Structure 1
Amino acid sequence: PDPGLPSPEPGWRVWPRQWPRWAPYATAVWGVVYAAVQTVWAATGTTVPWSPHVAYAPGVELALAVLALLAAGVCLATPWPLARRGRVTVAAVLAVAIPVFAMGMASLPAYVVTLAALSGVESATGFAHVLLNTVGLALLLLVGVSHRRRLRNRCPRCGAGHPGDGSGPLVHPPASVATRPTRIQVYLLMCGLLPWAVVKTIWTLGGDALSVTAEKWREENAGGSGAAKALASVGIDVTVLAALAGIFLLLGLMYPWGQVFPRWTPLLTGRRVPRLLPLLPAWLSAIGLSVYGVVLVIYAPLSAAGALPRIEPDGTFTSSAGITWMVLFGGLAFGGLGFALITAARSYATRTRPACANAATDAMPGK
């Protein structure tokens, strides 16, 4: 190579920049794999749980397979100029596929918590199904964003209006704090965790609450992992610890140390935080938590009022009122954390959105 020219960048640095190019093809591969897995499960009668007590019917699995293939087909068409009918078809398929596959990965936070607690996975097929939906949802969102930007004659990668193919270096904005209204909204939503966390902590510390005795609580959790038992011995419930991790993520999304590694990260101090490092877990957790929380918050009062079947006490709870209150507290906690993550992640994504270097140069004064 000519010594006067700069050395070419390694592929591992260039490849992520070119995601608008490869995302449609990666989505097509995912669609074929997803359809094949769903078809095999339906043909063999494999149990794939949707909830602890409900499994996907073979007909539903085949419908999901068809939808995945349709999504794969329209994604392959997005990089090309499309007539009005083609644009409508792409928009319609993505409008259906994205919510469907988002619902399919809604239980991802629950699997993450059980794995973090070293409690194992209750259903291997259920976990595989959630992971397949998660990968598909992420790819479909990438394709949807780049397609929408192309339709607006914008750069499919950064969204700015500039010449070029959008494959060069990126310019990142300086670290910043979320706006005051955003911070207030997030803190208010975080308060939804308090009733649920207080009750869980009372049980873990040996107290009685909501018709559940400390003895019964210990019996029900006797089969937990060693890590969960060790945390419980010092009054920390593993799910409360997971919620604290969510709060840590929220703070990182709102303050500069979530964009530039702070001093208490010795080997990384001063380096830019990869944008997807906080955004990916935030978005993936927020979807499931917010949906689950809304369902519980709606169901609990309707059940108490008799509009829906009353929630019957199980082996831990001894009264219907106690378990109904806990369902409501859980809805406030999960929904509050989920919507707080959505709010903070939107702010973080806006504040940290990079621009292609040529777009930043064109925007300079005098250009």
Structure 2
Amino acid sequence: MGVTVVVPANSEVGGVPEPSTANPGRALWWRRWPLWAPVAAASWGVLYAAIEVTWAAAGITVPWTAHTSYAPAVQLLLAALAVLAGGACLASTRALARPGRAVVATALVVTIPVFVVGTNGLPIYFVTLVTLSGFESATGLAQVLLNTVGAALLLLVGLSYRRRLRGDCPRCGRPHAGADDGPLAHPAASPAPKRTRTVVYLLMCGLLPWAGVKTIWTLGGDALGVSADAWQRTTSLGASGPAKAAAAAGIDVTVLAAMVGVFLLLGLLYAWGQVFPRWTLVLSGRRVPRLLPLIPALLTGIPLTMYGAVLIVMAPLIAVGVLPAIEPSTPFTTSSGITWMVEFGGLAFAGLGIGLVVAARSYAARTHPVCAAAWDQPVLTRSRSS
């Protein structure tokens, strides 16, 4: 038997909503993101395909990892997938029959993971740019940025399309009458549930072996068969001024970058990540724009998770002989030492990456705004079987 339940629009967990005070005219373009995201994604698909075809035809090298590059055939395949994804995004704005909806959904399901995987390497480029260490390949950086922009647009289109098919507001995800581009109401600030915090803290522990070994080297100790002098000589080659200054203070720049990630994690878990605390001075008491921590958390967390997972799996396979041993290179003197460092790196990157994704998911749910119209009237949930 079908039962229809009436749910008050203001029954969401999170306290009394805070109406958006943004200037309506200035924020109008952002409020209409479900309308312009498909067009932007289609434009990206055309641009992406043109660039990939040009690179493939000209034989331009586009790095995938430090030792491998995209083959021309792969670049042409990516170009075709980008055009397919862009076409699906445009089609998602139309009223389609069931077969058409299935084709659009399938195209998005197939292409979104491809371009999400293509964001791998973004954290590495970020660290090298921030530390003024430069980057090895302009085309590699351009490829990662193109994949990142495409993945973000496709995810927005997929989200709004799924909501539209369910009969919900494509922007806020709640069924309600009235316009879907009006003011928003924001939940009150709240910390993540205790279970979420515990999971994230455990994941953060994965940083300890990797950060510990690097800190030992930086402070002058020996570990994994690597002497402090050999490590410092190797890392000083091509290092920037900020990186050398950090090393002189006993701080490895990559460990420092990880600590920035931990700071971001804490902001996602606690209420001060939703309302600027007192130590932020002029910003104190103001609501934190929810995309300010969410964008870096997801852009960093997803690539780190993928990269770390590969390292975690690879190191044991090397240790038992399934994969060939890694030839030691300076400053490492043994294959076992570099294999252990690969495993420590995998635990650190995957732990931090998964932690960021888990914390970002909790933060997104706790800060999810809804259209003000959804708080002004009760809405009917869908009928469900009892």
Q: Tell me how far apart the structure 2 counterparts of residues 145 and 295 of structure 1 sit (CA, whole Å).
A: 28
The answer to whether residue 311 in structure 2 is matched with residue 296 in structure 1 is: yes
1:307 deviation in Å?
Answer: 1.2
SS in 2 for 1:14: helix
Residue type at the aligned position of 2:331 = T
Please point out which of 92, 114, 117 is paired with 1:78: 92
1:9 deviation in Å?
Answer: 4.6
SS in 2 for 1:56: coil
Cα deviations across residues 159-181 of structure 1 (Å, max 9, x unaligned)?
00101231000000000000000
Aligned partner of 2:128 in structure 1 is: 114
Aligned partner of 1:333 in structure 2 is: 348
Q: Tell me how far apart the structure 1 counterparts of residues 31 and 290 of structure 2 sit (CA, whole Å).
A: 13
After TM superposition, where is structure 1 displaced by more than 4 Å over at least 4 residues in a row?
none
The answer to whether residue 196 in structure 2 is matched with residue 182 in structure 1 is: yes
Cα deviations across residues 172-223 of structure 1 (Å, max 9, x unaligned)?
0000000000000000000000000000001111111111111111121122
Aligned partner of 1:69 in structure 2 is: 83
Give the alignment's Cα RMSD to 1 decimal. Answer: 1.2
Q: Tell me how far apart the structure 1 counterparts of residues 167 and 72 of structure 2 sit (CA, whole Å).
A: 42
1:10 deviation in Å?
Answer: 5.5
Residues 128 and 134 in structure 2, CA contact (< 8 A), matched pair in contact too: yes
Q: Tell me how far apart the structure 2 counterparts of residues 25 and 128 of structure 1 sit (CA, whole Å).
A: 21
TM-score normalized with structure 1 length = 0.96
Please point out which of 16, 20, 24 is paired with 2:34: 20
Q: Tell me how far apart the structure 1 counterparts of residues 125 and 186 of structure 2 sit (CA, whole Å).
A: 34
Structure 2 spans left out of the alignment, 5+ residues: 1-21, 380-386
Please point out which of 310, 314, 321 is paired with 2:325: 310
Aligned partner of 1:212 in structure 2 is: 226
Residue type at the aligned position of 2:93 = P
Aligned partner of 2:288 in structure 1 is: 273
Aligned partner of 1:4 in structure 2 is: none
Residue type at the aligned position of 1:311 = I
Residue type at the aligned position of 1:51 = T
Residues 180 and 371 in structure 2, CA contact (< 8 A), matched pair in contact too: yes
Q: Tell me how far apart the structure 2 counterparts of residues 165 and 283 of structure 1 sit (CA, whole Å).
A: 29
Residue type at the aligned position of 2:373 = N
Residues 64 and 140 in structure 2, CA contact (< 8 A), matched pair in contact too: yes
Q: Which has the higher contact order (CA 8 A, sep 6+)?
A: 2
Which range moved further: 245-254 or 218-227? 218-227
Please point out which of 63, 71, 78 is paired with 1:49: 63
SS in 1 for 2:178: coil
1:261 deviation in Å?
Answer: 0.6
Aligned partner of 2:119 in structure 1 is: 105
Q: Tell me how far apart the structure 1 counterparts of residues 108 and 356 of structure 2 sit (CA, whole Å).
A: 24
The answer to whether residue 149 in structure 2 is matched with residue 138 in structure 1 is: no
SS in 2 for 1:309: coil
Which range moved further: 211-220 or 246-255? 211-220
The answer to whether residue 344 in structure 2 is matched with residue 344 in structure 1 is: no
Residues 24 and 183 in structure 2, CA contact (< 8 A), matched pair in contact too: no
TM-score normalized with structure 2 length = 0.91
Q: Tell me how far apart the structure 1 counterparts of residues 117 and 86 of structure 2 sit (CA, whole Å).
A: 18
Q: Tell me how far apart the structure 1 counterparts of residues 96 and 290 of structure 2 sit (CA, whole Å).
A: 31
Q: Tell me how far apart the structure 2 counterparts of residues 340 and 261 of structure 1 sit (CA, whole Å).
A: 22
The answer to whether residue 123 in structure 2 is matched with residue 94 in structure 1 is: no
Q: Tell me how far apart the structure 1 counterparts of residues 254 and 172 of structure 2 sit (CA, whole Å).
A: 37
Aligned partner of 1:246 in structure 2 is: 261
Residue correspondences, number:
357
